Structures are given as structure tokens and as C-alpha cells.
Structure 1
Amino acid sequence: MKKNIKLEAPDGGWGYLVCIGMSMPFTCILGNFPSFGLIFGDFLKSIGAETSAIAFITSAFFCSLSFAGLFANNLFKRFSIRTVGIVGGVLYFMGSVMQIYVKSTVQLTVAYSLFQGIAAGLIIPSCYTIFNSYFVKKRVFVMSLTQTLIGIGTMLYPVIVQKLIDWYGFRGCLLVLAAINSHAILGMILLQPVEWHMKKVEVNDEEIEEDRTEPLMSAEERRQEPQDTLNVQPNESLATRMGSIVSLGNWNGPIALSGASVEFQPFPNKPTLWQAIVDFLDLSLLKDPIYLNIVLGMSFCLYSDMAFFTLQPLYLFELKYTKTETANIIAIGAAADMISRVVIAVSAIFVPVSSRFIYVAGAFFTFIARFAFLEVFDFTRMAIITAILGFLRTWFHVTMSLVVAEHLPMKRFASGYGLFMFLQGNIMFLIGPIVGYVRDRTQDYALTFHCLNFFMALCVFPWIMEMIYVKCRKQNKSADHDLN
């Protein structure tokens, strides 16, 4: 019987070096958020800038990231994904070098928010696109190992930062961190195109015919069934093949694409500038109320989480914690985050649960735990509550892309997630300075954390109300069908 050659994803080999490569910039990016106040807190205070400056700088970072992530998919069509990733690594390193010489909040905003924000927006989709091309059958398992490696680096990052400040001072610490962040370039160099490492598998004509005639799976089956093969035509570009599975800005979890029965009616075709914007950003998705509830809720939740862990070191300094104690508490939270990633990866294999349910559960318990956070003051209890918050935050970071993938059809996942990142970045940019202004005017961290918890509630309660409404509606339809 005639044999044919089919190319499949390697599911290993050089892919393991890709995992190491993507862990380098992710550790630097994710480790820097909870350590930002630790690094720049005294500097900003010395130049008269307080919480509002930190809120504006971090919000501007996410704004830059969202715009860069939104355009990343178009860059992949013009340049190789590896090239885009290397450019992101270079920009991130340049931002680190510029921070050594900052003397004002404007300079820090340019170095951190603009350069490193754009860099992160290019690095993140590059890493996840390449990862998904290398791994299909082992995707969840290998991603869990990669996330564990990133978690270890994130856990050690604040401890290293504190040691560097003690040994070399503020500027010396930034110099060493710039050297560490230069590894982002090395990590991107490791992202070799998957075409260089594809496996050749012999198949016969009957197997090819079965692949062509195999019926499509239902949405529920696709949600639970991983892709088994990645067929590649020799002249087909990676950017074209991966267009539907690019994760624009998903930081912590594997991409699991799923189908859905949702269909959308596009806006009328008109040769106008507005129509071009609608088509480019796929704004017709906003006509779906459930999608709108999803992206707004995740945007508020993500802002609340990032702002909370950015302000936590400053709050601990206010409570007279030493820098060493503060760094240890942050490291404990990062360790709990790492453990939670492993737990989710393992439990997902044995207990299939909706990603959105996991997300809203993590957000709800975080909402409750933050009230306890404001009632503890000694080191032991503060470390425990920070560990709980660190464990819970993984529940909504890992499942971000999966929530969108469960709701949208595969062909609209990339544009739907890109639109989410665009909205999320701009929401952060708008409300971040407001929260910082409230803190500086009131000089009350407790009120600031309550404001952040309010934004967390904007995710939790609309989602719960929607889930209850949808469930009741389904039950009523089922009852009407039985009566008929």
C-alpha cells in the first residue's frame, strides 16, 4: 500500500529549549510586578512622587502592552515570529538600561511603561504561538512544567532584588537587573521555527481519507479533546497556520482552543473608515452581551490583582515592615502561586471543570480574603494571607485565555482575545490613576484596597448573575419543551 509522509508537531526535542527560552522573559516580566514598589518605592518618594505615580506607570505599562499585543498578529504576517520576539527582547533590555539613569517619573514612564510595555506585548504572543506549534499531545503537561519553572523564578525574584539593593544600592541593583533582563533576548533566540524540527510520519492513503471524512466533533467534545496532529504544508507559513491560536497576552496558561455554537452577525459592509476599524478590531464581538460581560469582568479583575500586589510592598512599609520581611512575604506569595499552577494542571486531568467556573471561584475567594488581609498586621498572619491570595490568583491568571476560548468559535479566538487585551489595557490606563489619586488624597491604604476590591466585585457578581440567569433560562426552556 502506498505510503505518504505527513509532518507533525515534535512534541518534544527542541521544544523543551523553547520552554526554557520562554521562561526567561516571563520570569523577568512577572517577577517585576510585585517587586516594582520594592525597587522604586524609595526613589519615587525621594522625588515627591507617591502612589498616584506608581498607579499611572503600571497602568501605562498595560496600555502599551495591549496595543502591542493587538498588532502582534499582523506583525507575524510580515515578519517571522522569532524576529518579532527578538525585537521584543531587545526593547525590554533597552528599557532596563534606561531605568538605570532615570531621574523623574516621566523618564521612568518612558523606560518602563513604553519600552518594556511594548516589549512584553511582542514577547508574550510570540512565546505562546511558538509553544503551541511545538506541543499538541503533551501541551498541558509541558506547560505545567514551564509554569513551574517560571514560578520558581518569580518566587526568587523579590528576594534577589532585596539582596541587590542591600549590596549595591538602588542604581547598582538596576544595573544587575538589566544584565538579568538581557536573557530575554537569549530566550527569544531559542524560539526556532517549528518547520525546522517537524517529525516525518508515514501514513497510508486510507488514513488520509479517514482524516478527510472524519465528522466534526461537538463543541463539548472539542473542549475536552486536545488536537492530535498538526499537518503542515511545506510552503505554508507559520504565521498563517497559527493565526487562530495566537494568545495575545495570555501570561500564565496553555492555550486550549474550543469550538462553540455562537454565531455573530457582522456590522453592515460600508466602505468607511469606521468599517475598517470594526473589521480590524472585530468590534462586532461587542454585540454579544456574554462576551462583553466576560472581557469587562476579566479586565477589572486583572487590574485589581495587579494593582493590589504592586501596592502591597508600600502598604507593608507603612506597617513598619523591614525590606527583608517585605521581600520574604512577596516570595511566599509567589511560592503559593507556583504551587497552585501545579495543582491546577494536575487536577484538570482528573476533574474536568469549566475554566470560567474556576476563574470566578478564584475571583470570589480573593474578594473574601482581602477583607481578612486588612485585619492582620503581624508577620506570620500576613505571610499566611498573602500565600492564600497568591494561591488564588493563579485560578484567574491561568484560565484567562481558556475562558475566551470556551465562548468563541476557533476562527474568532485570536481577534476576540486581542480585543480583550485592547479593552483591558485601556481600562487599566483610565482607572489606575484614579485609584492612585484616591490614595494620595486620603493617605489611607485601607480605602485604596477597598476600591480595588470593588473592581474585583465588578467581575464576580455580574458573572454570577449571568450564570444564574442563563441556567434558569435553560431550565425554563427545558420545562416548556417537556410540556409540549
Structure 2
Amino acid sequence: MPPDGGWGWVIVLAMSINNLLTIPMMQIFGFVFGDKLHDIGLSAINISVITNTSQAFGLLLGFINGALLKKLGYRKVAFASAFFIFIGFFTTAFANSFTTFLITYGLIYSTGTGMAKSAYFVALNTFFLKQRSKALALSFTISSLGPILLPQLVPYLLYSYGLKGTALILAAILSHTFVAALLLQPIEKHEKMDPEDDTVNAYHKEIITKSSDVTDIKPSFYDFGSTDDLDIINRSTLSLYTERRPTKRRFSNKMYTSLISFSEDTPDKPVSVDNNIIKLGIEDDLNAKENHLINRKKIFEFFKSASKLFELSLIVDPIFINIIIGISLAMFVDLNFAILTALMLTDFGLEKNQIATFMSVQSSAELIFRFAAPYVGCCLSDSPRILYMICLIFLSISRFLFVWVQGFTLLLVSAVCMGIFRGLRTIYMNLVIPSYVPLEKLPGASGIQLFLNGIMFLVGGPILGFVKDVTGSYRGCVILMNCLMLLGVFMWAIEMMIVKNKKKTVDQT
């Protein structure tokens, strides 16, 4: 069982260091490079493509990250992420065109941040079970120091060292992600056995309960050729958590069909051949059919391995799909808003020191409420998803306030409101998927969710840039983003009502 402490708190520190350094870099990108992007003549669409590609590319590697985590472990993946993060930002200091910004910051740096998210997320969830929410809260609280301190540091660096010198210093700061990777250790060194622990037993009981919830999917059949009477045993059923139930199906009339299943632990299919074929002496035909069956088995094994490696069985669970769509919409909105904040405040006519103050005030409020999030959750006694939905609703209201108020004082009030609900939703967001998906499927689930996030950024980013160019203001972008986030909340609410009604109907019968 997870240690729920011990070296796990060092894992929390490692995740905190990584997030403290990498997350603020995304938020201050426009602050650091904004003037240069405008000097080289980039439009709002160009800037949006760069920033959203930076988010999307790393997230699109989610499937690959899940496989890498299974094959290499989170420590090696974290080292690789540190390398890409440092090289990406270091080379961005020398970027002078749309293409170079897209490659250095949009692709290389993004690869590192995407790998880091998966590695540290899995590492922390592996070391904690009962105290997972507190561990996440502590990690994100420490991480919040980055968005508070770095915006105050950047104006001084720009004044003293210029743009290129500032970018190189920030790259040197990012090299400390190697230190964070060094702190990760395999869970095997720290596991403990406590079979009497009621919480752990309940956790495993939950997995077993999910395993009994069968969701049969009608399989697809593909015609591979012809043969005489064959008894193909073990018709596989594609299900989230279940093993197959063997059945028999008989095929004749010179044709047989083959089932390709993405499920696990499917036994070989014994084949009985009519003795009349042997008597006819068509050994060549039998050899050809035998080779065909071998090839078919290889194809089956390939899909079976791919399904197991990437946890593709999760994509047939409608609740899981609805969960990751809602999270992806919210993440797309939140990260784009964070990236565009400095540019929006510049459009509002604020000076750089005022922009730095706004970002620090928001981050300070976020830090306080990240730490308070687990205790708020205990008081409300609701599931992480319900609490997350509540935070998203109030966060949308705060952002509407941000775009319509006038005056620096009222902007600071909106910054405090956004910081409060950003702090709360950050903790609950990272508990939604682990509270639904079994631990052994968490790397694959994380990869699928990150992949969907990447698709969202690729599709939605240019749209935001287009809206800004057409309207001439970022206010339209904020309204659109808020509507998208509320759409995710609405989808979750509909799903919960459907599930509740079905459960009520079953209880009545």
C-alpha cells in the first residue's frame, strides 16, 4: 500500500519545485516576450498559435507519456522533461520569428512541460491514498509562490539585462527542474503492508466493485477469408474492468469471421477442422489457413498490447469521457486566460509594475486558498467533482467582473476573487480523475485526458486569436472562454441527473 507520508512528502516537494518553476513561465511569457512579439509584427492569431501550441503539443503527447511512464517509470520521464524544459526556454531567448518561437517555445518547451505533468502527477498519486488531497494542497500551495515572485522579478531583470539576458536567466532557473527529478524514487522502496487498514480495504473493494460493473459492447466482425467448419471459442467482450466470458459460435459455408478485441487475458482460440478436408489431401490449403490464423493472432496481440499499454478500454466509459471533456474545457479556458492576462492588462492601459502587482495579488489569494481547499472540502462533504463545478461557476463570474470593471482598484478586487476560486479549483480538479479511475489505470487515464487537452488547445487557440482580431478587444475572448467553461459544468450536471434518476429507478424496482 502507499506510504501516505514518509518519502511521499519529498515527492510533494519535488512536484512543488517543478510547478513553481514551470507554471509561472507560461503566465509571464507575454510579459517577457510581448514587446518583441509585437516588434517582429506578429498578429493576435500568430501569438495565440504560439501560446496554444505550447500548451497543446505537450498535452498531445499524453498517450505517449502514459506508455513511457509504464515502461520507464516517472523518475526517468521527469529527467527527460527537465532536459526539454531547459533547452526549450534557452533557445527561445534567441528566437526572432514566428517559426523559431513556434519550434522553441511551442514544441520543445511544451514537450518538457507535458512530460513533467504526467510524471509528477503519477508519482504523487502513487505515494498517497488517504492524504492525497492534503498532499496536493501542500504541493500547489508551495507552487503558488512562483506566480507571486517571478512577476516581481521580471521587470527588474528586463531593466538590468534586457530581453535576451532575462530569458537566459529564466532558463538557468528552469534548470533546477533536474533537482526535482532527482528527488523522485520508486514506490517499491517505500511501500508498507497494512492489510487491516479499513481505508485501504475500502479502496480495493471499490476497484472490485467497479470490476463487477460490466459494460458490454457489441463487437465488430471482419471477414478474413474462408474455411470449412470452424468452432471459434471465446467470443470476447470489450469492457472497462471485466474479463471475457467464453462463448461458442459456429461458422460454415466457406466463410469465417474473426473478432478483434481490445480486451485482456483472452485465451487462444482452438480450432477443429473437419476430417474430410484432410482426406481430400489439400495440405497446402490447410497450411495457408494456418498461416492466416497465425497472422490474425499477431494482429490480435498487437491490438491487445496497445489497449493494455494506453488503457484504451477507458474510452468506452461514457462517464469518464464526460469527465475529461469537462476538465479539458476548463483547462483550455484557464490556461489561455492566464497566458493572455498580461496582454489584456496591457490593452487596458496598465504599466508593467501595475501588471506585476495584479498578478502577484491574484497569486497570493490563490496560494492561501489552495492550502485551505482540503479543509473547505471536509466542511462541505461533497465529492471533488461537485466542489470543482462550484468553483468553476464562481470563477466565471469573477472573470466577467474582470473584463467589465474600470479602475485599478476594482481590477485588484477581481484579481482576489479569481485567485480564491483558482486556488480551490486547482486542488479539486486534480482529484476528479483519481477519485473515479483505479490507480493501475491512472497513467493511461492521465494520458487520454492530456491528449484531449491538446486537441482542445490546437482547435480553440486560433479561434480566440480570430475573435480578438475581429472585435479588436480581448473582452470577446473572455466571454467566449467563460461560455465554454460553463458548458462543461452543464454537461456534468446533466450526466449526474441521468445517473441519479437511473439509480432511483433501480432502487424502486
Q: Is the pair's TM-score, using the shorter chain for normalization, greater than 0.5?
A: yes
> Structure 1 residues 137 and 258, CA, compared in 2 at 3 Å: closer, same or farther?
farther
CA distance in 1, matches of 2:462, 2:111: 20
Match of 1:160 in 2: 153
Q: CA deviation at 1:476?
A: 4.4
Q: CA deviation at 1:390?
A: 2.1
Is the contact between residue 45 and residue 469 of structure 2 (CA under 8 Å) also seen in structure 1? yes
Q: What CA deviation, in whole Å up to 9, does each residue of 1:412-437 have, x standing for no partner?
A: 33322321111111111111112112
Rg larger in 1 or in 2? 2
1:71 aligns with 2:43: no
327, 347, 365: which is aligned to 2:376?
347
CA distance in 1, matches of 2:328, 2:26: 17
269, 289, 308: which is aligned to 2:260?
269
Q: CA deviation at 1:456?
A: 1.2
Q: CA deviation at 1:39?
A: 1.2
Secondary structure at the counterpart of residue 498 of structure 2:
helix
1:395 aligns with 2:424: yes
Aligned pairs for 1:15-164 (under 5 A) are: 15-136=8-129, 138-164=131-157
Is the contact between residue 260 and residue 407 of structure 1 (CA under 8 Å) also seen in structure 2? no
CA distance in 2, matches of 1:85, 1:69: 14
CA distance in 2, matches of 1:132, 1:465: 29
Match of 1:321 in 2: 350
CA distance in 1, matches of 2:73, 2:311: 24
Q: What CA deviation, in whole Å up to 9, does each residue of 1:190-237 have, x standing for no partner?
A: 2233455x3888xxxxx87x68x9995379x869xxxxxxxxxxxxxx
Match of 2:3 in 1: 9
CA distance in 2, matches of 1:336, 1:214: 33
Q: What CA deviation, in whole Å up to 9, does each residue of 1:56-100 have, x standing for no partner?
A: 122212222223332223223443532221121111111121011
Match of 2:250 in 1: none
> Structure 1 residues 348 and 43, CA, compared in 2 at 3 Å: closer, same or farther?
same
Structure 1 gaps, min length 5: 1-6, 202-206, 224-256
> Structure 1 residues 98 and 398, CA, compared in 2 at 3 Å: closer, same or farther?
same
Secondary structure at the counterpart of residue 407 of structure 1:
coil
1:430 aligns with 2:459: yes
> Structure 1 residues 258 and 100, CA, compared in 2 at 3 Å: closer, same or farther?
farther
182, 187, 190: which is aligned to 2:183?
190
CA distance in 2, matches of 1:199, 1:469: 40
Which stretch shifts more, 269-278 or 283-292?
Answer: 269-278
Match of 1:238 in 2: none
Amino acid of the structure 1 residue aligned with 2:111 = I
> Structure 1 residues 43 and 8, CA, compared in 2 at 3 Å: closer, same or farther?
closer
Amino acid of the structure 2 residue aligned with 1:11 = G
CA distance in 2, matches of 1:215, 1:163: 51
Amino acid of the structure 1 residue aligned with 2:322 = N
Which stretch shifts more, 423-432 or 127-136?
Answer: 127-136
Secondary structure at the counterpart of residue 434 of structure 2:
helix
Q: CA deviation at 1:162?
A: 2.4
> Structure 1 residues 261 and 463, CA, compared in 2 at 3 Å: closer, same or farther?
farther
Amino acid of the structure 1 residue aligned with 2:332 = Y
Is the contact between residue 370 and residue 426 of structure 2 (CA under 8 Å) also seen in structure 1? no
Amino acid of the structure 2 residue aligned with 1:406 = S
CA distance in 1, matches of 2:114, 2:410: 36
Match of 1:240 in 2: none
Q: CA deviation at 1:400?
A: 2.6
Is the contact between residue 315 and residue 321 of structure 2 (CA under 8 Å) also seen in structure 1? yes
Q: CA deviation at 1:469?
A: 3.3
Q: CA deviation at 1:464?
A: 2.1
Secondary structure at the counterpart of residue 184 of structure 2:
coil
Match of 1:244 in 2: none
| Count of aligned residue pairs for this structure pair | 431
Match of 1:304 in 2: 333
Q: Which has the higher contact order (CA 8 A, sep 6+)?
A: 1
Amino acid of the structure 1 residue aligned with 2:317 = D
Q: What CA deviation, in whole Å up to 9, does each residue of 1:396-453 have, x standing for no partner?
A: 3322342223333444333223211111111111111121122123312211211212
Match of 1:236 in 2: none
> Structure 1 residues 402 and 143, CA, compared in 2 at 3 Å: closer, same or farther?
closer
Structure 1 vs Structure 2 CA RMSD: 3.1
Is the contact between residue 262 and residue 409 of structure 1 (CA under 8 Å) also seen in structure 2? no
Which stretch shifts more, 400-409 or 153-162?
Answer: 400-409
Aligned pairs for 1:187-336 (under 5 A) are: 187-196=180-189, 198=190, 217=202, 262-265=213-216, 266=238, 269-270=260-261, 275=303, 280-336=309-365
Match of 2:270 in 1: none
Is the contact between residue 260 and residue 409 of structure 1 (CA under 8 Å) also seen in structure 2? no
Q: CA deviation at 1:24?
A: 2.0
> Structure 1 residues 261 and 345, CA, compared in 2 at 3 Å: closer, same or farther?
farther
Is the contact between residue 262 and residue 408 of structure 1 (CA under 8 Å) also seen in structure 2? no
Which stretch shifts more, 305-314 or 386-395?
Answer: 386-395
Is the contact between residue 62 and residue 446 of structure 2 (CA under 8 Å) also seen in structure 1? no
> Structure 1 residues 281 and 335, CA, compared in 2 at 3 Å: closer, same or farther?
same
Match of 1:386 in 2: 415
Q: What CA deviation, in whole Å up to 9, does each residue of 1:246-273 have, x standing for no partner?
A: xxxxxxxxxxx99686544427625559
Q: CA deviation at 1:53?
A: 2.2
> Structure 1 residues 368 and 469, CA, compared in 2 at 3 Å: closer, same or farther?
farther
Q: CA deviation at 1:137?
A: 5.4
Structure 2 gaps, min length 5: 217-237, 240-258, 262-295
TM-score normalised by the chain length of structure 2? 0.76
CA distance in 2, matches of 1:278, 1:445: 42
Aligned pairs for 1:439-458 (under 5 A) are: 439-458=468-487
Amino acid of the structure 2 residue aligned with 1:82 = R
Match of 1:247 in 2: none
Match of 1:228 in 2: none
Amino acid of the structure 2 residue aligned with 1:44 = L
Amino acid of the structure 2 residue aligned with 1:103 = N
CA distance in 1, matches of 2:323, 2:199: 33
Amino acid of the structure 2 residue aligned with 1:366 = L
CA distance in 2, matches of 1:262, 1:410: 17
408, 417, 441: which is aligned to 1:412?
441
Match of 1:357 in 2: 386
Is the contact between residue 67 and residue 309 of structure 2 (CA under 8 Å) also seen in structure 1? no
